[in-house]
Amino acid sequence: MKATIERASLLKSLGHVQSVVERRNTIPILSNVLIEAREGGGLKLMATDLDLQIVETADAQVETPGTITVSAHTLFDIARKLREGSQVEFHAADGRMQINAGRARFSLATLPRDDFPVIAEGELPTSFELSAQDLVAIIDKTRFAISTEETRYYLNGIFLHVAEDGEPVLKAAATDGHRLARVTLPRPDGAEGMPDVIVPRKCVGELRKLLDENGEARVQIDLSASKIRFTLGNAVLTSKLIDGTFPDYNRVIPTGNDKLLKIDPKSLAEGVDRVATIATEKTRAVKMALGKDKVTLSVTSPENGTAAEEVPGAYSSDEFEIGFNARYLLDILGEIEGDSVELHLADASAPTLIREGDKAQALYVLMPMRV
């Protein structure tokens, strides 16, 4: 194999590919990136952790086609340190891969391509497109609620499913058992009849990075009940789906919460953040006392002292107090784009519904803290 690629395009592609590779690997070949120099030009770079696989293609001049694997992180580090604008020449022979760029030369250990595991996609019968913008919204407005508890593996991802809500919709939901985030979009063409799927957290993270950098307007999604594939321009991300049953989350979305607070999300978030400074526990509990057209936020720490702040807002129901984890509240408020947010409350121990309005894409449910 012999090929030449520009350092900039190598670095860009490797940047995506290497982040799939786990830092600590017990199977040596999983530390490697597969490089395929294609007949007629172009390099294909591929990495996997057995659950998630990325393939990225880049322009390159190919003299001799061939395929080899080398350490992904080493190659990435080399590419980073090479001079800007340099041409990088790969030459694989006799179990080594030579890299020449300018006056620098490297010879890297390799592993044969035949050992490189490839995720068998199988048939992916459901195919549809989403705009990058919608996909970003799905991810950003739900991913913070994904559970990190590995024992509840079926919550370790974003749940995607289609439904009829007066009109056909695609819903994305994530929860860690304490809060729930859901985004609803019109159902894209081709998504009808799709199986319910749970997209793993790592796949979500890698996809989000690609969306940031790729600048593609549309993303092609193909899926079956066990695999999902995202195609964004030169990058193809394929992931196994979480094999589990996502709980019936609709049951925890309250419908009869009759106490409504309308407030500026920014002022509320800033107030919560300020009073939470005083909290010392790992989970910082903030008390919200609801009164006529205002909320009094307060924190009491046995060691540190107390903090309180009043935030004006529209409220005319009964006065009462409720506690929340400051972090959870800030996560949600941070995703509210408008200048008004609705908190639909019932009592100090019931789930609270948070949304911009009844037409909003995103909806959040937060369980209180007992304080």
Catalog residues that contact other proteins under the rule CB under 8 A.
26, 149-151, 175, 177-178, 180, 247-249, 251-252, 281, 283, 285, 323, 325, 349, 351, 365, 367-371
- Our CB check for other proteins shows the closer of 106 and 154 to be 154
- Our CB check for other proteins shows the closer of 137 and 180 to be 180
Residues 365 and 359: their CA atoms lie apart, in Å, by 16
Residues 32 and 175: their CA atoms lie apart, in Å, by 34
- Our CB check for other proteins shows the closer of 151 and 316 to be 151
| Chain centroid to CA 203 | 7
Residue positions counted in the chain: 371
- Our CB check for other proteins shows the closer of 126 and 325 to be 325
- Our CB check for other proteins shows the closer of 283 and 340 to be 283
Residues 53 and 55: their CA atoms lie apart, in Å, by 7
Strand partners, 186: 169
Report, in Å, the least distance between residue 310 CB and other proteins.
21
CB-based contact 42:67 (threshold 8 Å): no
- Our CB check for other proteins shows the closer of 283 and 306 to be 283
Q: Return the residue matching tokens 């979305």.
A: 253
Residues 134 and 212: their CA atoms lie apart, in Å, by 13
Residues 195 and 180: their CA atoms lie apart, in Å, by 21
CB-based contact 37:2 (threshold 8 Å): yes
Report, in Å, the least distance between residue 371 CB and other proteins.
4
Report, in Å, the least distance between residue 287 CB and other proteins.
9
- Our CB check for other proteins shows the closer of 14 and 158 to be 158
Strand order in the sheet with 61-64: 61-64, 2-6, 87-93, 96-101, 104-109
- Residue among 78, 76, 29 at smallest CA distance from 49: 29
Report, in Å, the least distance between residue 1 CB and other proteins.
34
- Our CB check for other proteins shows the closer of 135 and 322 to be 322
* Joined tokens for residue 311: 């935030």
Report, in Å, the least distance between residue 269 CB and other proteins.
19
Report, in Å, the least distance between residue 277 CB and other proteins.
16
Report, in Å, the least distance between residue 136 CB and other proteins.
27
Report, in Å, the least distance between residue 285 CB and other proteins.
4
Residues 71 and 29: their CA atoms lie apart, in Å, by 8
Torsion angle (degrees, nearest 10) of CA 361, 362, 363, 368: -160
Type of residue found at 196: D
Is residue 51 classed as helix, strand or coil in its secondary structure?
A: coil
